[in-house]
Amino acid sequence: MSNSEAPGFPLEVDVLVVGSGAAGLTAALTAAISGRTVLLVESAGRFGGTSALSGGRVWIPPGEGSEDSHAAASEYLAASFGSESQPMIEAFVSGARRMARFVETHSRHRFIPCPRYPDYHAQLPGWTSGGRAYDAAPIGLGELVPEASDIFLPPGYLPITHSEWETWRFPAEFDWELIERRRENRILTNGASLVASLVDGAVRAGAKLVKDVALLDVEHGPGSEPIRARVGSRHLDTAVVAGALILASGGFDANPELRSALLSPALGVSASIPTNTGIALQLAQEQGIAVDNLSQGWWMPMVQLPDETVDGNPYPRALVRERGVPHQIAVNRSGMRFVDEACPYHEFVQAMLQRRGGEFPNREAWLVFDQQFREKYPFPGLESTGPLPAHVKTDNTIGDLASRIRIDPGALTATVDRWNSLCRSGRDSDFGRGESLYDRYYGDPRLETSPNLGTIEQAPFYAVPITSGTIGSKGGPITTTEAQVMEHDGHPRRGWYAAGNAAASWTGDDYPAPGSTLGIGMTFAHRAAIAAIRSLDESPSWSS
């Protein structure tokens, strides 16, 4: 398409949404249901963003149908983030349940509670042992608009729900006939189900969704003049005039330059969608908008499998469940354990990024396990029998394995011996593995007394490199409780809103519970769209 050709989407709208993850789609759905004209632009070649690649759990406090309460959820978050975040905490807790009801009313998405999935900080007041995280119900693409089929799927995707995983746990117990029927019938679960349902809802409500079109620049006029956004692709460069702009374009961690400049030098990789290159942050820095929290991210330990990609770029797998079961430990380049391996993933990477005397002793880490682990438990890219993939190293003794991965043999042997003695005693007195409900949740439920502990003593022995990673950065424009973007002078910028990882997160360097990223992003995107609609209703000069 040349610049003179029609772009195939409206050039004057009430609300322009940038980004098609769960936050952007929630904003588009909310604005479109109000009757306003909505254009959503997505720079990637498919819809869904990082949300589509995720587990799709959404944290929605207070939990429904439980003894949870608004006060308990607020107390928990206040204990996590401090009193300075209280306005954002109150906005989130008061808005999360309303967002969820709105989404279920106006789309085919259904939130399924996870009653046994605990918050991450059991030591804090207001914590719950489950019920605040919600899964996505399975949805068939045949029920949805065609655009819903054009979404990203992660490598190794299996259409199973979280409750099914809780029941089955291990591949030998999976209902593979059910999984195959779902594949044949194009039934989705997890983040794919969430975004497909939101795409369907937004399109049916009248929003126009276009892919392969990026936000390039924004001209902000004085007074009540509309926003002029420059959007384009390889064959297009045009302006869209809008009454409101909602930035939900994801973070900046897929941009190597920004990741290197702003995040920890010990950080390894990004598992954000490759197009999350930081347009919201770049616009803010260019236009005098206040930014914050640029050094933080939603951390996740990763393993990179050979040849696995998303949109042509190497894409790592998250390590969540593998770290909870027995017969494995994580060691640093000195051959020492450095963390409770089964802890929440954000905390695991925090340990990897620790700086000591100018060094990062845990930036290079290995998961070390034995034949017992391989036979009993799944690991990305590794079958229980057969040839080993390139990323898995093996040998017949711990010392020889250490030499193969360039760790001192004596140090690794001593660490494994120490681990084995702790397992025989029934308690990890070094790091407390297995002492929290979260640890035990991801352990082996068949082992009632010690679901997280198990010796490493049956040859051959294996090692896989662990890489620190992000599933999103946390820095960007500072926003109000209504997701309005703030100027440096402390006043909101008229017509500009930001939500999800495009905005500065008030969560700092913490991760309170499963699904926090999506829960917070969707809630503030919903609030942003409501605020934008209200502002347009109060502006008699604006009409698309």
Contact 337, 331 (CB under 8 A): yes
Q: Does a structural domain hold residue 425?
A: yes
Q: End of a domain among 470, 485, 511? A: 470
Residues 413, 500 within the same domain: no
**Assigned domain for 6 exists:** no
- Residue 179 belongs to some domain of the structure: no
Query: What is the pLDDT at residue 1?
Result: 38
The answer to whether position 282 is within a domain reads no
Could you tell me the two tokens for 464?
């896989």
User: 451: domain CATH number?
Assistant: 3.90.700.10
Helix 86-106 to helix 516-537 angle, to the nearest 10 degrees?
80
**Is residue 293 included in any domain, yes or no?**
no
Beta bridge pairs of residue 497: 246, 484
Domain with residue 68: its CATH number is 3.50.50.60
* Residues 448 and 500 both lie in one domain: no
Flag whether 314 is in a domain: yes
Asked if residue 326 and residue 203 are part of one domain, the reply reads: no
**Both 68 and 135 in a single domain?**
yes
Residue 155, domain extent: 12-161+188-256+474-537
What is the predicted pLDDT for the residue at 220? 75
Q: Which of 418, 438, 470 is the last residue of a domain?
A: 470
Residues 202 and 308 in one domain: no
Q: How many domains does the chain have?
A: 2
Q: How far apart are the C-alpha atoms of 403 and 381, rounded to whole Å? A: 23
pLDDT at site 2? 42
Residue 501 lies in a domain: yes
Q: Are residues 325 and 434 both part of a single domain?
A: yes
Distance (Å, rounded) from C-alpha 378 to C-alpha 195?
27
Residues 196, 87 within the same domain: yes
> 69 and 42, same structural domain?
yes
Q: Is-above-0.85 flag for pTM?
A: yes
Same domain, 221 and 78: yes
pLDDT at position 414 is 98
Beta bridge partners of 428: none
Same domain? For 405 and 482 the reply is no
Between strands 227-233 and 111-113, the pairing is unpaired
In 355-436, which ranges are continuous DSSP H helix?
371-376, 398-404, 409-425
- For residue 528, being part of any structural domain is answered with yes
**Spans of the chain below 50 pLDDT:** 1-2, 4
Residues 52/191, Cβ–Cβ less than 8 Å:
yes
Q: Which amino acid is at 283?
A: L
**180 backbone dihedrals φ, ψ, rounded to 5°:** -65, -40
Please calculate the CA angle 52-112-198 and round it to the nearest 5 degrees: 40
Are both 463 and 483 inside the same structural domain? Answer: no
- Tell me: do 105 and 85 sit in the same domain: yes
Tell me which residue has tokens 């198990």.
454
CA distance 169 to 333: 31
